[in-house]
Amino acid sequence: MERDVTPDGDPAGQPRPRPFTGRLSVLWTDGLGRASIRAVQTLAVLSLAWVVVTAATRVPLVTIPVLVALILASAMAPAVRWLAARGWPRALAVLSSFLVILAVAAGVVGGIIALVRQQASVLAARAEAGIGQLQQFITTGPVALTNAQIDAARSEFQKFLAGGTLGADALTGLRTAGEIVAGSVLTAVILFFFLKDGEKIRYFLIGFLPGTRQGRAHLAAERSIVVLGGYVRGTLIIAAIDAVIVLIGLLILQVPLAVPLAAVVFLGGFIPIIGATAAGSLAVLVALVENGPVPALVVLLILVAANQFEHHILQPLFMGRVLRIHGLVIILALAAGATLAGVIGALLAVPLTAVGWTIYKTLAERNTPGPEPVAPAEPGSGA
C-alpha cells in the first residue's frame, strides 16, 4: 500500500525540515537584509578610503608634489602637444614648456619679493602711527579697553618673545622651509617625467586592471586630464582678473604695496569662493593703517564685488563645462582639505573632488566605451 506523499517528497504529515542555510538566506533577501549588505559594503569602502587618505597624509612630502605635478602636467599637456604637432622633437617640446613654467614662477616670486623690499620702508615708517591710531580706536571704541589692559597684553607678548618657545618655533620654521624647498624640487622633477612619460605611466598603471575594465579606465583618465587642465587654466584666468580688479582699486586709492597685495590676491584666487577675498583682507589691513578706515572700507567693498563677479560671471564662463560641482560641495571639500593638509589641502581639494566626480560618472555609465585604446609607439605628452 502506497503512502501519501507531500510535494516536497516527504510522507504525508511529516514535512521535511528546511536546512539551516536556507533559513539564513531568507534573512538576507528581504529589505532589511539587502540594506544591511549595502551598509557593510559602504563601511568597507569608507574604511579603505580612510586608510588611503591616512597613508597619504603621513607622507606629505611625497603625496603633495605628486598631486601638484599631476595637476600642472594636465594643464601643460596641450602646449606640449601643440609644439610636438608642429615638428618639435617631443623631448625639446617638454623641456621648453617645463623651462617656461619655471621661469614664469621664478619671475613672479622674485618680482613680489623685490617690490616688497622696495616699498616696505614706506610702510614701516608709518606703522608706528598706524598702531597708535589702532590703540586709540580700541580705547575709545564700542568695546573700550583701558591702557592698563593693553599694557598687560603687551607685557605678556614680550614674555612670550623672551621665552624658550620662540626658539622652538624658529626651528620649526626652518624645518618647514627645508620641506618647502625639497617639495618644490621634487615637484619639478615629477612634473618633467609626467610630461615626458605620462602616457607610458598611465598605461602601466591601468595594465593591472582586468582587460574588460581597461577601456573604461582609459576613458576616465582622459576625461580627468581634461577636467584638471580646464580647471587650472580657468582658475588662472579668474585669479588674474580678480588681481587686476583689486590692483586698479588700490592704485586709485593710493594704497602702498599695491602690486604685491594684488599678487597675494592672485595666489589666493586658486582657492575657489573664499580664497581671493581672504587673501584680500591683507590689503584691507594695509589700507586701514596707511589710508584710514574709509579707504579700507572701499577696498573691502571692491573685494566683495570682485567675489560676486567671479562667482556669477567668471566661473560659469570659464569653468562651467569642467567644474560642475555644487557650491556646497566645494565648501565642504575646502574644509576637509584644509583640515587634512592646511593651505595645500585647500588648494588641491576642489580639483581632486572634480576628478573624483568625473571618474565616478565615467565608471557609472551604462553604455560601454569603444574598443580599448592601443598604447602609443612613443611616450605621450600628458600625465
Whole-model pTM?
0.64
Q: Check residue 120 and give its pLDDT.
A: 63
Is the same domain home to 237 and 346?
Answer: yes
Q: Check residue 169 and give its pLDDT.
A: 47
Please give the average per-residue pLDDT across 123-152, as a whole number: 61
Q: Check residue 270 and give its pLDDT.
A: 79
Is the same domain home to 263 and 332?
Answer: yes
Domain membership of residue 14 (yes or no) is no
Q: Tell me: pLDDT of 124 over 80.
A: no
Is the same domain home to 269 and 360?
Answer: yes
Q: Grid cell 565615467 — which residue?
A: 362
Is the same domain home to 182 and 249?
Answer: no
Number of domains in the chain: 2
pLDDT interval class at 80 (50, 70, 90): confident
pLDDT interval class at 166 (50, 70, 90): very low
Domain boundary among 146, 173, 206: 206
pLDDT tens digits along 355-372: 888 888 888 876 544 444
Domain membership of residue 365 (yes or no) is yes
From 206-210, 244-248, 261-265, 289-293, the region with the lowest mean pLDDT: 289-293
The count of C-alpha atoms lying within 13 angstroms of the C-alpha of 247, restricted to the half-sphere facing its C-beta, is 13
Q: Tell me: pLDDT of 116 over 60.
A: yes
Q: Check residue 25 and give its pLDDT.
A: 63
Q: Check residue 301 and give its pLDDT.
A: 92
Strand partners, 11: 5
Q: Which three cell numbers stand for residue 339?
A: 583640515
Q: Are 346 and 189 in contact (CB under 8 A)?
A: no
16 or 351, which is more confident: 351
Please give the average per-residue pLDDT across 216-222, as a whole number: 87
Domain membership of residue 46 (yes or no) is no
pLDDT interval class at 374 (50, 70, 90): very low
Is the same domain home to 102 and 177?
Answer: yes
Q: Tell me: pLDDT of 2 over 80.
A: no
Please give the average per-residue pLDDT across 127-154, as a whole number: 61
| DSSP assigned state of 5 | B
- What is the residue range of 281's domain? 215-370
Q: Check residue 248 and give its pLDDT.
A: 92
Q: Are 128 and 122 in contact (CB under 8 A)?
A: no
pLDDT over 90, % of the chain: 3
Domain boundary among 177, 206, 235: 206
pLDDT tens digits along 3-54: 555 555 555 555 555 554 555 566 667 778 788 888 888 899 889 888 887 7
327 or 373, which is more confident: 327
Is the same domain home to 240 and 294?
Answer: yes
Give whichever of 250-259, 328-337, 343-352 has the largest mean pLDDT. 250-259
Is the same domain home to 194 and 324?
Answer: no
Q: Are 193 and 92 in contact (CB under 8 A)?
A: no
From 86-95, 116-125, 308-317, the region with the lowest mean pLDDT: 116-125
The vertex-276 CA angle with 265 and 321, nearest 5°, equals 120
Domain membership of residue 44 (yes or no) is no
Is the same domain home to 219 and 366?
Answer: yes
Domain membership of residue 108 (yes or no) is yes
Report CA torsion sign: 18, 20, 21, 22: positive
Is the same domain home to 71 and 168?
Answer: yes
The answer for 254, left when phi > 0, alpha when psi is -120 to 50, beta otherwise, is: left
What is the total residue count of the chain? 383
Rounded distance between C-alpha atoms, residue 269 and residue 319, angstroms: 14
**Could you please report the per-residue DSSP string of 314-341?**
IHHHHHTTT----HHHHHHHHHHHHHHH
Domain membership of residue 352 (yes or no) is yes
Q: What is the mean pLDDT of the chain?
A: 75
Is the same domain home to 201 and 65?
Answer: yes
Q: Which three cell numbers stand for residue 151?
A: 599694557
Rounded distance between C-alpha atoms, residue 267 and residue 275, angstroms: 8
Is the same domain home to 225 and 186?
Answer: no
How many CB atoms are located within 10 Å of the residue 159 CB? Answer: 9
pLDDT tens digits along 256-300: 778 888 888 888 887 777 777 788 888 888 888 778 888 889 998
Q: Check residue 1 and give its pLDDT.
A: 47
Is the same domain home to 196 and 228?
Answer: no
Domain membership of residue 155 (yes or no) is yes
**382 — phi, psi (to 5°)?**
-130, 165
Domain boundary among 206, 231, 262: 206
Q: Check residue 100 and give its pLDDT.
A: 84
Domain membership of residue 37 (yes or no) is no
